[in-house]
Structure 1
């Protein structure tokens, strides 16, 4: 799979669970037929490789968070060099297989110096073999007043020539703007807006853009029943905005349908023996049935905005426009322009774009193909202005590659 995806230009990032092992069932048999108990994994780990049993229950104590058991999961003692080496060997093996990087699960539950040592062993080994260093990002769930924060992990991997980005969970709050939670609205995403109506690192207390991995949902937050495919066009528009704005390294969850919250414990589509079924995607968000793959990444609004993000990379937001409610538009330098209507009716406006004059093909309805527009045509006049009539729950996006 890794080789096949690599040949198609898709890098595989492994979700590496290295803080702990499993606690249920115990005793049990792994998916590859290996017998185990909670603190004994023959040929790999034994009871002496784990921290003494205690429960994570005090997030004001770094020792409790990093040396005790999260959800009763046996906590690996990464203070031991032998444990760190086994973890590093696992990651090195995956890198040699060709994976592009790692998401480090529950990173805040591993002491910073110990995690840095693990990444150092990986980076130095791969560099010595002439292989590229993996891309790494750390799952660090933030919380006010906690002893362990994302800032504590800024230097992970640096001493060995690498680096590590960090999940920015605060960004998930963007979904509330699109869902109008507590009277919020999307015009409050203006990067230069007034206090209480601005989206920026300073206003939201976000990680620096070059450290942040951002998302509207991930496999955990989706189970909180926040914004997701269930919200149809609202979710599509939120993803258009996320991929159009410049902050962070964007992540799209591709998931399966379950009933939230009553079906939160449901795993992915699987057969009677627990093996995950081959992926067969729903035709749209709206037709996804419980137990079916949704494949959010294939939705045209999301898929086509990925290309937009690449084209406009390195440019700032300019020419912001909004109606002080739920319609917005902005450009990315002279490389791209988007307009989004979350209102309940059509919005018409004449907006400056900063784009060179010409006829463009809207990416969200098909873009440019064979010299012609497959969907909506967007005209930028001699003054760089666009006149649009956006239906409720729709958007347009043009970039430098869509000019006819």
Structure 2
């Protein structure tokens, strides 16, 4: 089993003397992406940003249907489907490997598609399946591991014939260069059967198993950790609870240590996966949550030393079954969300890589509510502010003295040591004055140091002077669940994306107001906007007429708009 933390610490120690090589410590799920688009993404984004691997959708031939879940109804182990053919898959694996990015295949090995128990392309016949068809009682171990899961034909994985067919499929993928596997629905396969299948595999692929634990159930993730890593669903539940505002995020300071959790070295963590973001949206952080919650939850996951984190990158959906957009994902528009490209998320991948050999929390601070900060042993420091006002204070970072790029507010350019965002100065005592805007954060690490250039800053925009701007939208009558937002042509105003607009306060209803810090002397175009709080694409009403315009100047501004 791959013990990630220990491997990363060893790798960092091994290379620290002779090179600047950094371990890769986080991966991404490019859900329903096509093979050619993934190859390009590895070369142009994932490799340069430091992602370790991509989890790809199941590549085997499945039922012909548009729903996303059709990929989890295999009819054979041939490499073909809507993501591309076998040659394109092999090319993707090779191109990603050349970019330093591994491929993890989502392997459906518990079952075959619903329907008759006959799959001539494998071949599987009726005798290769269990014969329990009823609804599963999850308090009954035998039923969980021998009955059809939501009508999908359950393979008799205790049979050597079935184990060999599964192993042949996985070995074929390994021969194509695949580096690892996610075992879908592993909870529904006895751990001894998985051990027997694993014993037939060639090489030493990385494996993580989908095992959803629940209190009182007989099957728990801890049974499977001796074989390989497991998915830690407690992590996604806890992070979602607190980042949805159902409790102060300072409670997360002990995450991973609570009873029943998988040890960090055995855990794959995620803010959301392709299942729970659709099936349990109300209790799972997704892009549908406003106030920058999805991004900041990922910042927390990538900054906190627990588990092997997986970034979820999906597409827009309006119902549970909706399949992916018909066109490719590489352009990241018209439905494709590409959360992994969000600068704060992508830049935190480098943060995790550069702090891997300090896999611990130091210099922890919180305000007793929704503002937290922590260090990583002098290699990095993170601040998260999920309250409705800006946070500025002096932090003891534990970092060496220097000028650092805030990778949440901008991108770091390693070639000339420049920064497009804010610069954070750490003094000789490790102290730094850090500002984290509301529903936002700040982060620095030793891989993003800005040179002084003989007294002239090398950053392209540092430090950025801000001015408080108080927006007002009148006549903002709304229905229950709908609110008024400000939206505009600045990043702080959502760049005209309703999902990223800034919610205003309704204390003077139907006039809504809110104060936002914008860059000084900047021409701003903006409008008032109504939308649903939970689903940004619903209930959308734009302020009529031309865009409102003003310049922020150097003192506080008070722009007004009206529906």
- TM bucket (normalised to shorter chain) is 0.7 to 0.9
Q: CA-to-partner distance for each residue in 1:271-296, whole Å, 9 max, x for gaps?
A: xxxxxx3114446xxxxx6xx11111
2:323 pairs with 1:267: yes
Deviation at 1:339, TM superposition (A): 0.8
Q: Corresponding residue for 2:249?
A: 186
Matches within 5 A, 1:231-310: 231-232=289-290, 233-259=292-318, 263-270=319-326, 277-282=327-332, 292-310=335-353
Deviation at 1:210, TM superposition (A): 0.6
What is the rounded CA distance, in whole Å, between the counterparts of 1:155 and 1:264 in structure 2?
A: 34
Q: 2:422 is matched with which residue: 376, 386, 390?
A: 376
Q: Corresponding residue for 1:367?
A: 412
Q: Corresponding residue for 1:35?
A: none
Aligned length: 350
2:301 pairs with 1:227: no
Q: Output the TM-score relative to the length of structure 1.
A: 0.84
Contact 2:435/2:442, CA 8 A, preserved across alignment: no
What is the DSSP-based 3-state SS (H/G/I as helix, E as strand, rest coil) of the residue aligned with 2:389? coil
What is the DSSP-based 3-state SS (H/G/I as helix, E as strand, rest coil) of the residue aligned with 2:447? helix
What is the rounded CA distance, in whole Å, between the counterparts of 2:417 and 2:251 in structure 1?
A: 37
Q: 1:168 is matched with which residue: 217, 232, 235?
A: 232
Q: CA-to-partner distance for each residue in 1:270-327, whole Å, 9 max, x for gaps?
A: 3xxxxxx3114446xxxxx6xx111111111111111110110132100011111111
Q: Corresponding residue for 1:106?
A: 185
Contact 2:106/2:184, CA 8 A, preserved across alignment: yes
Q: Corresponding residue for 1:121?
A: 200
Q: Any stretches of 5+ residues in structure 2 without a counterpart?
A: 1-91, 451-563
What is the rounded CA distance, in whole Å, between the counterparts of 2:354 and 2:374 in structure 1?
A: 15
Q: 1:279 to 1:74 in 2, by over 3 A?
A: same
Matches within 5 A, 1:11-90: 11-23=102-114, 26=115, 38-43=116-121, 44-90=123-169
Q: CA-to-partner distance for each residue in 1:77-132, whole Å, 9 max, x for gaps?
A: 1111001000000000000000110000000111111110001100xxx24xxxxx
Matches within 5 A, 1:378-393: 378-393=424-439
Contact 1:281/1:295, CA 8 A, preserved across alignment: no
Deviation at 1:13, TM superposition (A): 0.5
Range moving further from structure 2, 240-249 or 38-47: 38-47
- Could you say which structure has the larger radius of gyration? 2
RMSD: 1.4
- Name the structure, 1 or 2, with higher relative contact order (CA <8 Å, separation 6+): 2
2:66 pairs with 1:7: no
What is the rounded CA distance, in whole Å, between the counterparts of 2:170 and 2:268 in structure 1?
A: 21
Structure with more strand by fraction? 2
2:291 pairs with 1:210: no
What is the DSSP-based 3-state SS (H/G/I as helix, E as strand, rest coil) of the residue aligned with 1:363? coil
Q: Any stretches of 5+ residues in structure 1 without a counterpart?
A: 27-37, 128-132, 157-163, 192-198, 271-276, 284-288
Deviation at 1:5, TM superposition (A): 1.2
Q: Corresponding residue for 1:273?
A: none
What is the DSSP-based 3-state SS (H/G/I as helix, E as strand, rest coil) of the residue aligned with 2:150? helix
Deviation at 1:10, TM superposition (A): 1.4
Q: 2:363 is matched with which residue: 315, 319, 338?
A: 319
Q: CA-to-partner distance for each residue in 1:12-39, whole Å, 9 max, x for gaps?
A: 110000000011xx4xxxxxxxxxxx21
Deviation at 1:367, TM superposition (A): 2.1
